[in-house]
Amino acid sequence: MRSRAVAGVDPAGRRGTSWVRVREVLASHPGAGIAAILTGHAVMVAAMVTTPLQMHHGGAELG
């Protein structure tokens, strides 16, 4: 609620993400979509790489 007050948006207004707003942001910032995809992939790869390492450290076996 505080962020809405600072931004000058009605705190009792509509909540959630409007897909129209998402399209507007992507149209005005073409690199935003690619940045989101790259960030998502980086997080996914990091999780996939560290999981077996943590399992091995804990004494679990993969096979």
Q: What is the pLDDT of residues 14-62, one digit of tens each?
A: 666 788 888 888 889 889 889 989 999 999 999 988 887 777 767 777 6
- pLDDT at position 53 is 74
**Is 12 or 53 the better-scoring residue by pLDDT?**
53
- pLDDT at position 43 is 96
Whether 3 has a pLDDT exceeding 90, the answer reads no
Please spell the DSSP secondary structure of 2-55, one letter per residue: HHHHHHT--TTS--S--HHHHHHHHHH-THHHHHHHHHHHHHHHHHHHHHHHHH
- pLDDT at position 45 is 94
- pLDDT at position 18 is 81
